[in-house]
């Protein structure tokens, strides 16, 4: 009983952590490019990145299912590589979450990068710092709040994911049955007490996350003024 209770929680936390990690690695270069480039593809790519914000999760899940399935080209690629098919696996959920939460990583980072004045980078260059050196020792520290915001939002948003997961992951205990799906299950079978525990836990968790974020941002702003 206890195990089935906690299993979705652990699975959700694992999914959210992994998604956040992958997105920081993938989203940082995208955000940097969007913030600095004057390429004509900049606006279209920014729009693509923002699509998950406006699309119903079912639409996203539907196309991911087709793309990753046996007839999709990504599905055929993963099969040829011997990785099998991604839908209805935990790995599939990670891929879906990465796409679903992409704007929540990219947009805060892009804002943070855009607010770094060119002068700091030029100064660093005159102080002998090469491009990578400038990125790691000037850009990342100056964009610290952007990274915190991006991580927290991505993590929290992945935890709250439902539609996409249902479309692509189904409801396999220990593999794809995350918290939101578990709550849905409990309600379906009229187990309101269990649903309450999980749902109230989510409310409390989300509240704590947001308060932490506001406090951190508030402190950073005060720090800049000091």
Partner 1 sequence: MNPTAIEARFICRFPGFELDVDLKLPGNGITALFGHSGCGKTTLLRCIAGLQQAHGQLSVLGTPWQKDNLFRPVHQRPLAYVFQETHLFPHLSVRRNLTFGQRRVPAQDRQIRFDDAVSWLGLAHLLERMPARLSGGERQRVAIARAILTSPRLLLMDEPLSALDQSSKQEILPYLERLRDHLAIPMIYVSHSTSEVARLANHIVMMDNGHVIAQGPLQETLARVDQPFRLEEDAGVLVQATLDALDEPWHLARFSFDGGSLWLRQDPRFRHGDQARIQVLARDVSIALTEHRDQSIQNLLPARVDHVETDVTPGTTLVRLLAGNTPFLSRLTSRSAAQLALTPGQPVWLQIKSVALVD
| Contact footprint for partner 1 (CB under 8 A) | 117, 119-120, 122-130, 133, 137-138, 141-142, 144, 224-226
The residue among 150 and 167 lying less far from partner 1, judged by its C-beta, is 150
Q: How far is the CB of 85 from partner 1 (least distance, A)?
A: 46
Q: How far is the CB of 60 from partner 1 (least distance, A)?
A: 37
Q: How far is the CB of 24 from partner 1 (least distance, A)?
A: 19
The residue among 82 and 130 lying less far from partner 1, judged by its C-beta, is 130
Instruction: Write out the chain in H/E/C secondary structure.
Output: CHHHHHHHHHHHHHHHHHHHHHHHHHHHHHHHHHHHCCCCCHHHHHHHHHHHHHCCHHHHHHHHHHHHCCCCHHHHHHHHCCCCCCCCCHHHHHHHHHHHHHHHHHHHHHHHHHCCCHHHHHHHHHCCCCHHHHHHHHHHHHCHHHHHHHHHHHHHHHHCCCHHHHHHCCCCCCCCCCHHHHHHHHHHCCCHHHHHHHHHHHHHHHHHHHHHHHHHHHHHHHHHHC
The residue among 120 and 192 lying less far from partner 1, judged by its C-beta, is 120
Q: How far is the CB of 167 from partner 1 (least distance, A)?
A: 43
The residue among 82 and 223 lying less far from partner 1, judged by its C-beta, is 223
């Amino acid at each position: 009983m206890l195990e089935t209770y906690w299993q979705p929680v652990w699975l959700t936390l694992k999914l959210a952590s992994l998604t956040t990690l992958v997105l920081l690695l993938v989203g940082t270069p995208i955000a940097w490019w969007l913030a600095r480039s004057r390429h004509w593809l900049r606006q279209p790519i920014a729009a693509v990145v923002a699509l998950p914000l406006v699309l119903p999760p079912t639409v996203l899940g539907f196309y991911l299912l087709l793309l990753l399935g046996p007839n999709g080209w990504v599905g055929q690629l993963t099969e040829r590589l011997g990785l099998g098919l991604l839908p209805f696996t935990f790995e599939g959920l990670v891929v879906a979450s990465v796409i679903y939460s992409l704007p929540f990583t990219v947009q805060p980072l892009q804002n943070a990068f855009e607010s770094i004045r060119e002068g700091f980078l030029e100064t660093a260059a005159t102080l002998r710092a090469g491009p990578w050196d400038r990125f790691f020792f000037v850009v990342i520290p100056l964009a610290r709040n952007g990274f915190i915001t991006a991580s927290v939002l991505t993590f929290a948003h992945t935890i709250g994911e439902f539609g996409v997961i249902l479309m692509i992951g189904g409801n396999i205990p220990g593999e794809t049955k995350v918290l939101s799906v578990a709550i849905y299950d409990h309600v379906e079978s009229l187990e309101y007490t269990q649903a309450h525990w999980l749902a109230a836990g989510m409310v409390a968790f989300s509240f704590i996350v947001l308060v932490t974020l506001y406090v951190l941002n508030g402190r950073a702003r005060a720090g800049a003024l000091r």
